[in-house]
Structure 1
Amino acid sequence: MTALEAVRARRSWSRVTDDAPTPSELAELVSAAGRVADHSSLRPWRLIELRGSDRDRLGRAISKASGDKGRSSKPLRAPLLVAIVATYRKSEKVPRWEQEAVASGVAHTLSLLLDEAGWGVIWRTGWYTRHKAVAKAHGLGKNEALLGWLYVGGKPPTDRPGRRKPVEAADHLSRMPAGKKREGTKA
């Protein structure tokens, strides 16, 4: 499968089976995903692998953030969660937003690689990604922000295609507008 075919076939999997890639399989894909464009090679990201009881701890942190007792079952929807963390570096050339874009690029590339390798993936976010209890559960530093989690598991059998419609490029792609001719200049 080519990269173009893999991207066209990609879909989000809100339900997955209990199968998941091994730590070594995940590490190989993370290594490849880390090749995204990265101004000044700051590598302003890290990923946190959550399996087993890690998901229970996250569920308790989400409940705490919500003001609830007990444990949210959201993290139990997949056997593997990969937390996406933007790790901001001091740089005069690369602003924070660009560093966050790099972390997002790594996450999206990883989701494409996981999908192409046969795994069901969905990127989940929520207001609680920026809550103190959830940040503490992940061991985030003051220079870090949680961007969400890739929920990863086996693809269940289905004959139902993804819900996303193809993008019409003409709706989103244009040329730069021609500049106005200034007096006394040749355009």
Structure 2
Amino acid sequence: MKFFADPALESMATRRSVSKVGPETPSDAEIAVLLDAVTPVADHKALRPWRLILLRGDDRMKLANALDAADGVTREEGEYNTKPFRAELLIAIVFSPTEHPKVPEWEQRVTAAGAGHLLELALWQKGWGVMWRTGLLANAPEVHAAHGLQERESLLGWLYVGSIDEHFRERLLNSNRPALDADQFLGRMPR
């Protein structure tokens, strides 16, 4: 693995998705502070075509029920969809486009995804485990309604956020995962 002298680059290079996070989570106030690292995302005309919804506690059951309704699943009494309970905190990344003659919707969607990824990196830098999850039902009408989305809005997924188990953190630190060969991503215009 390549090491960087710059701590920001090092954090970016070592970021990993953490599929199983622990119960500790950042507070709403801590997340609000991290948004300072997100707002500089490339954003043509500063439209801010994104917003976040924090899901904690009973909000996760509301999502579980919406996912089941969207999938046509009926469960036995006391059973529930466990997917939203993989973390104590889910952060819904909402794409919220604005009509603009110079900024097409696809460009705004890229900005919203960039904001989500910057938040993921900021959380990682602060020591939190994060997994960005989506799914085929993310934009089902029942899931939209559960999140209170407007007609033109859509979900880009949820960041599942929590603490990182110390054994897993140790494994990450000692990983010898090879860096990607940059040449495969770099090219030139055809001559």
Q: Which letter maps to 1:83?
A: A
| 1:166 shift after superposition | 2.1
1:56-135 alignment runs, 5 A limit: 56-70=61-75, 71-135=80-144
Q: Is the 8 A contact 1:11 1:164 kept in 2?
A: no
| 1:176 shift after superposition | 1.5
Equivalent-residue separation in structure 2 for 1:31 and 1:131 (angstroms): 31
2:12 counterpart residue number: 7
Q: CA offsets per residue over residues 24-57 of structure 1, 9 Å max, x none? A: 0011112321210100000000000000110111
1:175 counterpart residue number: 188
Q: CA offsets per residue over residues 63-92 of structure 1, 9 Å max, x none? A: 111111243110100010000000010011
Return 153-162 or 165-174, whichever deviates more.
153-162
Query: Runs (4+) of structure 1 moved beyond 6 Å?
Result: none
Equivalent-residue separation in structure 2 for 1:69 and 1:163 (angstroms): 45
Percentage of matched positions with identical amino acids: 47
Q: 1:67 to 1:164 in 2, by over 3 A?
A: farther
| 1:164 shift after superposition | 6.4
Structure showing greater radius of gyration is 1
In the alignment, structure 1 segments of 5+ residues that lack a partner are 179-187
In the alignment, structure 2 segments of 5+ residues that lack a partner are 1-5
Q: CA offsets per residue over residues 152-187 of structure 1, 9 Å max, x none? A: 000112232379652211011011122xxxxxxxxx
Aligned residues between the structures:
178
Equivalent-residue separation in structure 2 for 1:28 and 1:94 (angstroms): 28
Equivalent-residue separation in structure 2 for 1:66 and 1:73 (angstroms): 14
Q: Which letter maps to 2:24?
A: D
TM-score normalised by length of structure 1: 0.91
1:28 counterpart residue number: 33
RMSD: 1.4
